[in-house]
Amino acid sequence: MLRYYTAGESHGEALVAFLSGIPAGLKIEQAFLDRELWRRQQGYGRGGRMKIERDTAHILSGVHHGVTIGSPISVLLENKDWKNWQDSLPVGEGDPAKHKAVKSPRPGHADLAGALKYNFPEARYILERASARESAARVAVGAIAKLLLCELGIQVLSHVVSVGSASLTDVDVPWDKIVPVSQRDEILLSCADPETEQKMKEEVDKALRSGDSVGGIFEVVAHGVPPGLGTYAQWDERLDGLLAGAVMSLQAVKAVEIGIGVAAASSPGSAVHDEIGYEGRAHTGFSRRSNHAGGIEGGISNGEEIRVRGYLKPISTLRRPLQSVDFATREPVKAAYERSDVCVVPAAGVAAEAMVALTLARCALEKFGGDSMGELLRNYQGYCQQIKNF
Q: What are the residues facing 19 on neighbouring strands?
A: 4, 73
Q: What are the residues facing 92 on neighbouring strands?
A: none
Segment contacting ligand EPS by CB under 6 A, of 47-55, 91-99, 159-167, 323-331:
47-55
Nearer to ligand EPS, 49 or 238 (CB): 49
HSE-up of residue 238 (Cα within 13 Å, Cβ side): 13
User: Is residue 324 a contact point for ligand EPS (CB under 6 A)?
Assistant: no
Q: Report the alpha-carbon distance of residue 379 to residue 367 in Å, rounded.
A: 9
User: Is residue 338 a contact point for ligand EPS (CB under 6 A)?
Assistant: yes
Q: How far is the CB of 81 from ligand EPS (least distance, A)?
A: 6
User: Is residue 339 a contact point for ligand EPS (CB under 6 A)?
Assistant: yes
**Is-contact 307 291, C-beta < 8 A?**
yes
**Is-contact 219 309, C-beta < 8 A?**
yes
Q: Is 14 exposed, middle or buried (0-12, 13-18, 19+ CB in 10 A)?
A: middle
Which of 7, 35, 38, 47 binds ligand EPS (CB under 6 A)? It is 47
User: Is residue 333 a contact point for ligand EPS (CB under 6 A)?
Assistant: no
Nearer to ligand EPS, 36 or 240 (CB): 36
- Residue count, binding to ligand EPS (CB under 6 A): 15
Q: How far is the CB of 110 from ligand EPS (least distance, A)?
A: 9
Q: Report the alpha-carbon distance of residue 6 to residue 19 in Å, rounded.
A: 9
Which of 49, 103, 199, 309 binds ligand EPS (CB under 6 A)? It is 49
Nearer to ligand EPS, 196 or 317 (CB): 317
**Is-contact 313 214, C-beta < 8 A?**
no
Q: Report the alpha-carbon distance of residue 64 to residue 28 in Å, rounded.
A: 9
User: Is residue 340 a contact point for ligand EPS (CB under 6 A)?
Assistant: yes
Q: Report the alpha-carbon distance of residue 312 to residue 365 in Å, rounded.
A: 30
Nearer to ligand EPS, 74 or 316 (CB): 316
User: Is residue 241 a contact point for ligand EPS (CB under 6 A)?
Assistant: no
User: Is residue 213 a contact point for ligand EPS (CB under 6 A)?
Assistant: no
How many Å separate Cα 153 from the centre of its chain? 21
* Residues at the contact surface with ligand EPS, assessed by CB under 6 A: 10, 47, 49, 53, 81, 127, 131-133, 136, 317, 338-341
